[in-house]
Structure 1
Amino acid sequence: MGSISYNAQRKLILIGFLAIPLLLLGLLTYYPAVKLVYLSFTDWDGISSESMWLGFENYKEIFTNPDLFGVFLHQIPYALIGIIQNIVAILFAVILNSRLKGRNFFRVLLFLPFIMNAVAVAFMFQYVLDTTNGSLNGLLGALGLSSLQQSWLGNASLVNYSLASIGFWRFMGYNMVIYLAALQAIPGDMYEAARIDGAGRFQTLWYMTLPNLTKIIQLNMFLTISGALAVFDLPFVLTKGGPAGASETFLLKTIETAFQFNNFGLASAMSVVLLLLTIVVLGIQNAVINRRGGE
């Protein structure tokens, strides 16, 4: 009887500790997610208590309207520069993992942009990229490169690359620190054996360092690609989607659809599409990286 009583008390304690977190998880995560999927099939305006069931009409509108699904093209520069950002982060991590004098200073210096507030970074680069009084155009003029001066945020063909470059500046140091931690976990005996066998620096990097970083590369690329698909803060603060909608992102368009046009049904469908597209893209990315790691 004592044993049964103890087990019963143990189960009650476990249930008590788990009940509140599970309740909060269901209330704040799963219920809103299910509600979002339901609303994506309706025409709810965010105000009325009733909504009309539309079936797949919202999804059809997303994939047939280039003003909605077509804005994903604006996010290609974020993905491209994000890939370059990871390459540069690996190179810096390899350099700063060596016995370089003052390496701790450079590590802190490169990581500092990440701890800055995103809105503060956006306002700072608003002055850097300003057409008339911006420091970037001023520097180009001082170097005699006036022909390269641009309206960095006003040129439709450059604006997304300019915004993505801000993300490069802010997140490169963060990725570098993650790669650096992974590099320090690789046993030094492996590098000594490689040097004894006559392996050069490039061979060591390509055949030993990168394979050992496969899982970390996969993690950082997950963060990079998902961030590129859900860009919001930089275009919202700096361009409001301009010029002429050239820097609008899918998430910015989703929020505009919901809160400016009160079409929460269509906005919910756009959110579901964004989630599914992120899963597909990341699945392809993981398959490619895992194949490379296996080789």
Structure 2
Amino acid sequence: MITPYLFLVAALGFLVLFTYVPVVNMFWYSVTDWDGLSPSRQFVGLGNYVEIFTRPELFGVLKVSLYYIGASVVQILLALYFATVLSFNTRFRNLFKGIIFFPYLVNGVAIGMIFLFFFQPGGTLDSALNAVGLGGAQQQWLGDPGVVNYSLAGTSIWRYLGLNFVLFLGAIQSIPAHLYEAAELDGATRWDEFRHIILPGIRPIVGLSFILAISGSLSVFEIPFIMTGGANESETFVIQTVDMAFKYYKVGLASAMAVVLLVIILLVTWLQRRVAPDEKVNLS
């Protein structure tokens, strides 16, 4: 009887050691003034949280997340479109599946470096615009505060499109084939099949994708940190938190910021589940 549980010991041990213990430590650090180096930590209670909510500039960077939320909506729509098209008999569909999913397999640092060259002045994008006679549309893609967040959000679409695509594709292919056959016999178009069969059938996955998109948009870090370091008004809340801890040596305050971000994400997720709960759809 105990044998199956023994196989879980190592996995649970790593989960506790590398997930729950750091989270508990983060809550403890958030009520201290620890600088990350000193062996002593002075308890300050809710002082760090008071500082966060009395410094509007700490929350001002959350507006940058709006660009990524907008990009996530575009990304979900594109993933849903490609998953729907490629779930039917389409020429070279396996090739297209690989092309769409491949960027998600590439390391985030490598993607950041690739798009640094792509967006740099005289880089790939500018050369492509010149080649098609649109040289006048060239911008300081990463240097102009009015453009940089669109560039970074566009990069995130390219990178994470494959994840949602695979989720949607798997959900669509799990829908019983006889439903499509019955719909075709009734003269339904592809749009009718999508609206009345596919969309209701994958509604839980769509809801999950929106939850992941919003939480990811609020905690975006990798791409803007590599490509701009938060310069030109592209700083995100997580970049600000990391700088607070490792640049200004205010680990206590940074931990409090991380706790606040965690609470915001949990609250947004809860509200989303309340506003748009998953409904069980019987497609059998």
TM-score, structure 2 as length reference = 0.91
| Alignment correspondent of 1:190 | 179
**2:48 and 2:256 in contact (8 A); partners too:** yes
Q: 1:33 aligns with which of 17, 23, 42?
A: 23
Q: 2:197 aligns with which of 196, 199, 208?
A: 208
Deviation at 1:111, TM superposition (A): 1.4
Deviation at 1:21, TM superposition (A): 5.0
1:231-270 to 2 correspondence within 5 Å? 231-243=220-232, 246-270=233-257
**2:129 and 2:138 in contact (8 A); partners too:** yes
Deviation at 1:22, TM superposition (A): 4.7
| Alignment correspondent of 2:154 | 165
Counterpart CA distance in 2 for 1:198 and 1:17 is 53
| Alignment correspondent of 1:4 | none
Counterpart CA distance in 2 for 1:14 and 1:95 is 42
Deviation at 1:105, TM superposition (A): 1.1
Q: 2:265 aligns with which of 278, 283, 292?
A: 278
Question: Which is further off, 284-293 or 146-155?
Answer: 284-293
Post-superposition Cα deviations, 1:136-184, rounded to whole Å, max 9, x if no partner, equal 1222222222332111101112211111111111111222122111111
2:90 pairs with 1:100? yes
1:34-73 to 2 correspondence within 5 Å? 34-73=24-63
Identical columns (%): 40
Question: Which is further off, 148-157 or 281-290?
Answer: 281-290
**1:86 and 1:172 in contact (8 A); partners too:** yes
The one-letter code sitting in structure 1 at the alignment partner of 2:128 is L
Deviation at 1:98, TM superposition (A): 1.4
Cα–Cα, structure 1 residues 26 and 115, in superposed 2: closer, same or farther, change >3 Å? closer
**1:46 and 1:264 in contact (8 A); partners too:** yes
**1:75 and 1:160 in contact (8 A); partners too:** no
Q: 1:227 aligns with which of 216, 219, 241?
A: 216
1:8-27 to 2 correspondence within 5 Å? 22-27=12-17
The one-letter code sitting in structure 1 at the alignment partner of 2:113 is F
Counterpart CA distance in 2 for 1:213 and 1:90 is 10
**2:241 and 2:254 in contact (8 A); partners too:** yes
Counterpart CA distance in 2 for 1:79 and 1:92 is 20
Counterpart CA distance in 1 for 2:280 and 2:69 is 21
Cα–Cα, structure 1 residues 195 and 255, in superposed 2: closer, same or farther, change >3 Å? same
Counterpart CA distance in 1 for 2:26 and 2:203 is 35
| Alignment correspondent of 2:73 | 83
Counterpart CA distance in 2 for 1:188 and 1:22 is 39
The one-letter code sitting in structure 2 at the alignment partner of 1:91 is Y
The one-letter code sitting in structure 2 at the alignment partner of 1:192 is E
| Alignment correspondent of 1:144 | 133
Counterpart CA distance in 2 for 1:186 and 1:20 is 36
**1:81 and 1:164 in contact (8 A); partners too:** yes
**2:62 and 2:237 in contact (8 A); partners too:** yes
Q: CA RMSD in A?
A: 2.1
Counterpart CA distance in 2 for 1:142 and 1:266 is 50
Equivalent residues, number: 281
Structure showing greater Rg: 1
TM-score, structure 1 as length reference = 0.87
The one-letter code sitting in structure 1 at the alignment partner of 2:79 is A
Deviation at 1:265, TM superposition (A): 0.6
Cα–Cα, structure 1 residues 19 and 108, in superposed 2: closer, same or farther, change >3 Å? closer
Q: Secondary structure, in 3 states, of the residue corresponding to 1:290? A: coil
Cα–Cα, structure 1 residues 128 and 52, in superposed 2: closer, same or farther, change >3 Å? same
Unaligned runs of 5+ in 2: none
Post-superposition Cα deviations, 1:183-212, rounded to whole Å, max 9, x if no partner, equal 111011112222333433223212221111
Deviation at 1:33, TM superposition (A): 1.6
**1:214 and 1:289 in contact (8 A); partners too:** no
The one-letter code sitting in structure 1 at the alignment partner of 2:175 is I
Counterpart CA distance in 1 for 2:144 and 2:15 is 45
Counterpart CA distance in 2 for 1:226 and 1:111 is 21
